Structure formats: C-alpha cells, structure tokens
Amino acid sequence: MVHEAHDDLNELKHVFASPEYAEKWYIQILNSINNGILVTDDQLIVRYVNAQYTRITSIKEKDILGQPLKKVRPGAKLPQVIEKGESLVGVYRREGDTEYIVDMAPIIVEGAIIGGVSVVKDITEVRRLSEEIKTFAKKTGRLKTMVDRIYKAKYTFDDIIGSSSPIQEAVRVAKRAAQGNADILITGKSGTGKELFAQAIHNASNRGYGPFVALNCAAIAPSLIESELFGYEEGAFTGAKKGGRVGLFEIASGGTIFLDEIAELNLEVQAKLLRVLQERSIRRVGETSEVSVDIRVMAATNKDLYQMVQDGKFRADVYYRLNVLNVHLPPLAERGQDIILLANQFFQFYFQKIGRTFEVDKQILKALLHYSWSGNVRELRNVIEYAVNMCEDNVITTLHLPKWFKVDDDSRKSIHSLSQMVQEFERRTIQNAIAHYGSSVESKQRIAKELGISVATLYNKIKADPLSDEK
C-alpha cells in the first residue's frame, strides 16, 4: 500500500510539473482573483485578460485578445507606463455604471521591459456603500441634533438660589458628585427642586454635552414603563409600532437619565433596572440580544427608600446601587432668608411675564417667611404667581394672597370661617398623604381608603387645590 501511495504521489508531481497543467492552474488562480487583470507584450498587443477584467469593463475576451491595446482601449495609460518603465497607481475610470481604479506597472525581466500589466479594482459597490454611509451619517446627525434639542438640561448651579447653610451644603455635595460618574440618589420632599439639582449636576459633569432624559416614574402606567425605558422590537406586543421603538435608556446614552419618583417602580422593573446599573446594558422588550448603553443614572424620591427596603417594597440591591452618592435637599421651611430671595426672584419673573411691575409690601414678605411651606419651593412659586395675578393696584399686599394662606403675623389678623379651616385641613392632609404614599393611581386609591372617601371625591379635592400639580 505504501508503494502504491508513493507511485500516486510521483504521478501527481508529474501532472503538476507539466506545462499544460501549470498553464491551466495559473489561469484558474487568476480568474479567481476579485480584481481584473490585463497583460500586454512590449508591442502593446493584449496577450491576456482574466474573467474579472471582462466583467468590469464589459469587453468580451475574443474582442480584445491579440488586439493592439490602443485600438481597443484608446484612453489607456499603460503605453506610457511601458515607455517610461514606471508604475502608475490609482487611475479612476468609469464604464457605464461601473466605476473602477486601475494600477499599472511594466513587466521587467532581466532588466528588459517585456510588457505591461493593468490591475483593475471595481469600486462600484464601495462607492454605493460610501454614499449610503454618508446619507446615514446625515440622518444620524439630524437625529442627534433633535435629541440634543429635546433632551437638554437647561438649569445649572447658577440657577440654584439660596445662601442658607442647608442649601449651600446640598450644592457642595452636588458639585462634588458632578465631578464623577457614579449614580446618584437625590432625596427631599416634593417641591424642593430635585430635578433642578439633577440638571445642574448633569451640566457640570463631563456628560454635559450629552442628552438629559427625565422620566417621572409615577406618571407612566406600570404596564407601559418597561417599554418606555427599555424600548421594544416590532411585534413584541399588541399595539407595538412597526419597526419597534428605542427606549429612554438608549436615547440617554452618552448622557444622563433622571428617574424621578423612583419609589413608584414595581419590583419587576426594579429587577431589570438592577442589570442596567450593574452591566450598563439593556434588552429591548421582545429582543434576545443586549445593547450597551453609556449612561449615568440619577434617581429622585420624596419617600424613605431605606424604610421601603425594610418593608419589602423596594429592592435592597437597587437601593444600594442608586445610593452610591446621596444629595439631600432641605425643606424650604428650614432655609430661612432663602424664602425672601426666592420670593423676590419669582416676583420679578411674573412681573416680566405679565409686562407690569408692582411694589411688594414688606408685610407680605414677613408673612411668606413665617409660613410652613409644606409644598416647598413649588408652593411658594404658585403663591407668588397667584398674588401677582390677583393684584389690581400698584402694591401687592397680604390681601392678595390665597384665602387658604394662613398669615402668621400681626399685619393680618384674618378670621377664618369653619368651612375655610376644614378646607385648609383637608388640603394639607391630602398633600401630606400624597407626599408619603406617592401620586400613582394605586397610591391615590390607598389614600382615598385611608381617608374614608371615594376615589372620585379625592380627585375632586385635588382638582380644587390651586397648589396641586396632580390635576
């Protein structure tokens, strides 16, 4: 058997060594090359073209072989290459819809030029792909511009008004947090300015040029929040848009996502959020593959998340991941003279808005300073707006404050009727309940049950409250 194999090998070597086989072998190799090849002798007679050359140039082999190059290709530059004995590369040519680049060189044997060779590279597909890439880049650029315009943080630390120790401490911590990329939990009562701080941190960070995407977790139905955050593929569920949809995590890539009222996320979505916090990757609804996202997560809450963890209502792992850095915002009542600074700022804002200036009586500032401000800065702003719009004279006084506003100073000894006191008690009770339980549909159902009233009655009372933002 060994002898037979040896004989077969010798026979195979003999076949490979034969000129007839070698020629067929070389031709097969040249025809398998993606580039076109043309070869002439020193008299510029075409002696060889491969299959790719005839395809690219649309010239049949029988019409070019044995013909003078100048006859079949009048514009060819190979004659000059052979004459000068110097290569020429990157010559652009076009044949109908086909575009190609030609490299040419003389064939030199033992110092003598015996012919020339042209190598033709078809760039039609490359050019088409290049145009598609340019078009895609333009569309992507326009999309990025649109995203940057829509998802842009407008507030900076300069917009935070206050000189009191509590607010200055919060600003100090926030500025330190802005220098890194760790996730942040912003805590504080409703109306203390949590999104204001989130935007300021974003703009002061190295992500300031990226998008700032904010989502109020209590404002989205629990059944929709996953697709809102993570996006979805086409056909992922009934009603899914054709082509699917990009989620807010992907939109925020390169920047910051701000999840307000994070306590309202259900445990199932919290589990998926944990993976985002750990791996910085997301999986769209209905998709099996994952997409990396370059985001910083900021979250805010007016709840005691630690207590919610103890009660099993919030995942401990998500809490500790979010609470890497904590920025706590003080209630307005603890900020002393900041109330006056903010009030003056709001007065000027609404003066400009209505195109009229008023004098502000000092007693109203004293009244504002001694008010409890359960609604914090948001409540102060609403009170100022109300007073400006109610003033018909040139001086805004305590008489222009809302009727439910209890002034705790000697300048106004107003006597509230029993019905007014009941209304004020109900208003504060509902406000405190919303601050404690949240503003989701489920939370309002629980509040109504705790207060012993119907859900419809609760909504009517919220609607009647001029300071409520839950209308």
Clarify whether residues 396 and 344 are in a common domain: yes
Domain check: are 279 and 189 in the same one? yes
Tell me, what CATH number does 419's domain have?
Answer: 1.10.8.60
The pLDDT value given to residue 449 = 84
User: Model pTM greater than 0.85?
Assistant: no
Please tell me the predicted confidence (pLDDT) of residue 404. 85
Strands 184-187 and 296-301: parallel
Q: Yes or no: say if 412 and 363 are a contact pair by the CB < 8 Å rule.
A: yes
Q: What is the CATH number of the domain that holds 311?
A: 3.40.50.300
Answer yes or no: do 281 and 375 share one domain. no
My answer on whether 287 and 349 are in the same domain is: no
- Could you tell me if 243 and 287 lie in one domain? yes
Entry field: residues in the chain: 471
pLDDT score for 140: 63
Residue-range definition of the domain harbouring residue 90: 11-124
Please state whether 188 falls in left (phi above 0), alpha (psi between -120 and 50) or beta: left
Q: Is residue 448 part of a domain?
A: yes
Average pLDDT on 370-379 reads: 91
Q: Which of 398, 350, 405, 397 is nearest to 373 (CA)?
A: 405
Token pair, residue 197, equals 């701080």
Using 50, 70 and 90 to split pLDDT, how confident is the model at 21?
low
pLDDT score of 413:
41
Residue 84's CATH number: 3.30.450.20
Does any domain span residue 4? no
| 280 contacts 239 by C-beta, under 8 angstroms | no
Task: Strands of 51-141 (E only): list them.
Answer: 88-95, 98-109, 112-122
Question: pLDDT class for 410, splitting at 50, 70, 90?
Answer: very low
Domain termination residue (choose one: 281, 311, 330): 330
Give CA separation, 169 vs 162, 163, 176, 431, in Å: 11, 10, 11, 27
Please indicate whether residue 263 or residue 26 has the higher confidence score (pLDDT).
263
- 95-151 pLDDT, tens per residue? 778 888 999 999 999 889 999 999 999 888 788 887 788 777 666 665 665 666 678
The total of other beta-carbon atoms located within 10 Å of residue 259's CB is 24
Q: What is the mean pLDDT of residues 394-422?
A: 66
Same domain, 175 and 89: no
Q: How many whole angstroms from its chain centre is CA 441? A: 28
Task: Please report the pLDDT score of residue 23 as a whole number.
Answer: 66
Strand partners, 107: 115
330, 364, 384 - which closes a domain? 330
In this structure, the answer to whether residues 93 and 105 fall within a common structural domain is: yes
pLDDT class of 157 with cuts at 50, 70, 90 = very high
Do 365 and 399 form a contact (C-beta atoms < 8 A)? Answer: no
Sign of CA dihedral 111, 113, 114, 120: positive
Question: Last residue of a domain, which of 330, 363, 389?
Answer: 330
Together in a domain, 376 and 298: no
* Rounded Cα distance, 270 and 262, in Å: 9
- pLDDT for position 442: 84
Q: Is residue 98 part of a domain?
A: yes
Structural domain contains residue 469? no
Q: Is the pLDDT of residue 4 over 90?
A: no
In the chain, the percentage of residues whose pLDDT exceeds 90 is 51
**Do 282 and 160 share a domain, yes or no?**
yes
Residue at 41 is within a domain: yes
What is the distance between the alpha carbons of residues 125 and 128, in angstroms, rounded to a whole number? 5
Q: Residue written as tokens 């100090």?
A: 172
pLDDT at residue 250, as a whole number: 92
What share of the chain has pLDDT > 70, as a percent? 85
Residues 393 and 458 in one domain: yes
Which region among 93-102, 118-127, 229-238, 272-281 has the lowest average model confidence (pLDDT)?
A: 229-238
In a domain, 2, yes or no: no
Give the number of domains in the chain: 3
Higher-confidence residue: 194 or 26?
194
Instruction: List, as one string, the DSSP characters of 216-261.
Output: EGGGS-HHHHHHHHHEE-TTSSTTPPTT-EE-HHHHTTTSEEEEET
pLDDT confidence of residue 411: 37
Distances 382 to 177, 189, 400 between C-alpha atoms, Å: 30, 16, 13
295-349, pLDDT tens digit by residue?
999 999 999 999 999 999 999 999 999 999 999 999 999 998 899 999 999 999 9
Question: Do residue 161 and residue 67 come from a single domain?
Answer: no
pLDDT surpasses 60 at 396: yes
**Looking at the domain assignment, is residue 20 inside a domain?**
yes
What are the start-end ranges of the H helices in 151-233? 165-178, 194-204, 222-230
Q: Do residues 327 and 170 lie in contact, with contact meaning Cβ atoms separated by under 8 Å?
A: yes
Is residue 78 domain-shared with residue 150, that is, in the same domain?
no
Evaluate whether 66 touches 53 at the Cβ level (below 8 Å).
Answer: no
